[in-house]
Structure 1
Amino acid sequence: MKRIDRAHSIFDTPTPGRRAFLRVAAGAALCMGTDASFATDAAIEPMHKRPIPSTGEALPIVGCGTWRTFDVGDDPARRRELAAVLRVLFAAGGSVIDSSPMYGSSEAVAGALLTEMNARDKAFIATKVWTEGRDEGIAQMRQSMQRLAAPRIDLMQIHNLLDWRTQLATLRDWKAAGRVRYIGVTHYTSSAFPQVEAVLRSERIDFVQINYAANDRDAEARLLPLAAERGVAVIVNQPFGGGSLLASLRGKPLPAFAGDIGCASWAQLLLKFVLGNAAVTCVIPGTGRREYMIDNVHAGMGVYPDAALRRRIAQAVA
């Protein structure tokens, strides 16, 4: 089956063996009916967490994006598969689910699944406002809260900086009123980095979400160091180069050094490349298949590449 999904230096935690990973995978394969079994296996090594700089709250470092993958409407079979994806995420100690009103039915599907699973307290829900105008922004955010069945949103972000000055004023009011816990901005293209940098320099926000991957390293030059300097948490989208990077590596042997940091797949190696940067707080690869989620959460465990090994990973995928 083909896979196309939408730091510090090395930790002291021991790298989990391949046998442990296969036990997690075996448990997850049964997760629709035996969640407790998977939770026990996943607990062999819980997912690492990193602090949100503005508060110190610990956030699991691998989450789940919902662009395209959760836009399934009322399809019952696909919803069951997505429920399995979320069970794997939670059993491995993850929590971050990132969505947007521009992602079709994704917000509504995520909200319905969390309600059906009685799992709202396990999730760190991040979504976005993506419109112009104060009243329009408020209406859209209220609609997102309805769709997500969430009386409070953990992280509200200004999607692609659209009308960001207007929306940021509202987000600050909502944060003060307790409707949202954290606020931030997002973009998914490197061409927008100058604008993102300007916001980071001029405004106090909790999070920034940007694109970053082993073949898309523009963020390393200025944005990631600036976020660290300004005490802003970083969520990374498109860690697989929008899916094209994984596709280009299909059939290519995994480098021998991948085993040194506990990686059994290209997806794990690409995620650990991103997480090897100390400025990154969380990565949100999108997936709609539980076996891919199993693969992804494994990247939240074990050790991470130092600068020299990250250069070798970038060379390996060039």
Structure 2
Amino acid sequence: MTSGLATKRRTFLTGVAAVAATSMFASAISMRQAVAQQSGRAPIMRPIPKTGEMIPAVGLGTFETFDIRPGEPRDHVGEVIRLFHEHGGRVIDTSPLYGMSEVCVGDFIIDLDIADDIFITNKTWTTGDYLSDNSHSERQLRQSRERLWRDRIDVLQVHSLENHDQVRHWLAQKKAEGSVRYIGITQWSPEYYGTMERLVNTGTLDFVQVAYTILTRAAEQRLLDACAANGVAVQVNIPFEKARVFTPVAGQPVPDFAQEMGIETWAQYFLKWIISHPAVTNVIPATSQPQHVVDNMGALYGDLPDRAMRERMVDYYTGLTGVADALKQPPYPGKKYGGVVTWPFPQPPQRT
């Protein structure tokens, strides 16, 4: 089974035996592709290089957007997941460090009865009490499986390269045991791309998660080529620079040359530019708004820009007024997320 055995919590807790899932990820994808092709809307699929397993090129991120404090309304993120899946989405990325995001993902994919059709990419961030101590990693993986309600995780990656020399070996063990299907590393800062390239060249990784946007293109210099040469899947995080790429184009339509390709919105403009790079396997835009996930999923369909068009897209966007200052803005301009990870640390009492 590709995505792990999933049963409704209430059914499990009443003692009903879990049944084998009849909707495997791969077969569900094939069926939905056939339906999409009949309607003239075939989703853009990409192979995971090490196995050839196909996944949709547009996924869903959950950092901050799915971190809902316990007891607060969260139906909107359930609607995001429902619409994401309805529009062909399968890959959902999360992490134990994203507050309540794992819990929200696990609860809603079970409630929507789509768990066996979802491909989970997750992370681990641990150090242990001493160098070779893997107990923290084991505990974190067990917690993730319980929150996501899965017997195994599709992709587990070293979060932000934390303790990667030790954790990568543990991940290889988990993969050999079958509790993890693919292993990898993640980062968002270009200053670590040299380290990532070195690790990619060891040939031991299946996935790399990296920042690559129309404004942050450093991964093009060496890292993406290294991934392609070593058969490593590339998952792109923070594709909208935490919404900052939208500020310079607020209220403006996409250019005519993009509309002629079927690109209707700026979100699709940015996403199609990313997934059109031949080394990119999947991109994971995060959102908490149902209308935005539908917009994002529009990038999963239609033509992709070729190399010349990609260059034209960069030239057009970077030539707009205000783009040079876009990354100087705070993340998510005009919006503030209030999840668990934003809770303030207690301040020590002031000495008198």
Task: Answer whether TM exceeds 0.5 for this pair.
Answer: yes
- Closer/same/farther in 2, CA of residues 42 and 120 from structure 1, 3 Å limit: farther
Q: Which residue of 1 aligns with 2:122?
A: 127
1:73 and 1:109 in contact (8 A); partners too: no
Per mean C-alpha deviation after superposition, the further-off stretch among 265-274 and 125-134 is 125-134
Q: Distance in 2 between matches of 1:61 and 1:227?
A: 16
Q: Distance in 2 between matches of 1:49 and 1:211?
A: 20
Alignment pair present for 1:58 and 2:54: yes
1:46 and 1:92 in contact (8 A); partners too: no
TM-align CA RMSD:
1.8
Q: Distance in 1 between matches of 2:177 and 2:257?
A: 49
2:80 and 2:288 in contact (8 A); partners too: yes
1:46 and 1:93 in contact (8 A); partners too: no
1:203 CA displacement? 3.9
Alignment pair present for 1:187 and 2:187: yes
Q: Of 103, 106, 118, which residue of structure 2 is paired with 1:108?
A: 103
Per mean C-alpha deviation after superposition, the further-off stretch among 280-289 and 82-91 is 82-91
2:36 and 2:43 in contact (8 A); partners too: no
Q: Which residue of 2 aligns with 1:149?
A: 149
Q: Which residue of 2 aligns with 1:94?
A: 89
Q: Distance in 1 between matches of 2:261 and 2:141?
A: 41
2:36 and 2:42 in contact (8 A); partners too: no
Provide Cα deviations, 1:241-276, integer angstroms capped at 9, x if missing partner. Answer: 222112232123311111122111000000000011
- Closer/same/farther in 2, CA of residues 95 and 295 from structure 1, 3 Å limit: same
- Closer/same/farther in 2, CA of residues 40 and 87 from structure 1, 3 Å limit: farther
Q: Which amino acid aligns with 2:287?
A: T
Q: Which residue of 2 aligns with 1:4?
A: none
1:214 and 1:314 in contact (8 A); partners too: yes
Per mean C-alpha deviation after superposition, the further-off stretch among 286-295 and 247-256 is 247-256
Q: Which residue of 1 aligns with 2:202?
A: 202
Matches within 5 A, 1:203-242: 203-242=203-242
Q: Which residue of 2 aligns with 1:73?
A: 69
1:44 CA displacement? 4.9
Q: Which amino acid aligns with 1:61?
A: A
Q: Which residue of 2 aligns with 1:253?
A: 253
1:43 CA displacement? 5.6
Q: Which amino acid aligns with 2:161?
A: L
2:158 and 2:185 in contact (8 A); partners too: yes
1:98 and 1:284 in contact (8 A); partners too: yes
Q: Distance in 2 between matches of 1:40 and 1:48?
A: 11
Q: Distance in 2 between matches of 1:40 and 1:73?
A: 37
2:253 and 2:265 in contact (8 A); partners too: no
Matches within 5 A, 1:23-38: none
1:76 CA displacement? 5.8
Q: Distance in 1 between matches of 2:289 and 2:253?
A: 23
1:233 CA displacement? 0.5
- Closer/same/farther in 2, CA of residues 224 and 41 from structure 1, 3 Å limit: closer
- Closer/same/farther in 2, CA of residues 295 and 273 from structure 1, 3 Å limit: same
Secondary structure in structure 2 of the residue aligned to 1:118: coil
Q: Distance in 2 between matches of 1:40 and 1:155?
A: 26
Provide Cα deviations, 1:156-175, integer angstroms capped at 9, x if missing partner. Answer: 01001101121111111111
Q: Distance in 2 between matches of 1:111 and 1:190?
A: 31
Q: Distance in 2 between matches of 1:280 and 1:159?
A: 19
1:75 CA displacement? 4.7
Q: Which residue of 2 aligns with 1:18?
A: none
1:86 CA displacement? 1.1
1:228 CA displacement? 0.5
1:293 CA displacement? 0.6
Q: Which residue of 1 aligns with 2:310?
A: 310
Q: Distance in 2 between matches of 1:290 and 1:75?
A: 20
Q: Distance in 2 between matches of 1:292 and 1:41?
A: 24
Structure 1 runs of 4+ off > 2 angstroms? 39-44, 73-77
Provide Cα deviations, 1:259-314, integer angstroms capped at 9, x if missing partner. Answer: 12211100000000001101000000001111101101110100011111111111
Q: Which amino acid aligns with 1:127?
A: N
Q: Which residue of 2 aligns with 1:166?
A: 166
1:276 and 1:306 in contact (8 A); partners too: yes
Provide Cα deviations, 1:214-249, integer angstroms capped at 9, x if missing partner. Answer: 111111111111100100000001111222112232
TM-score, normalised by the number of residues in structure 1: 0.84
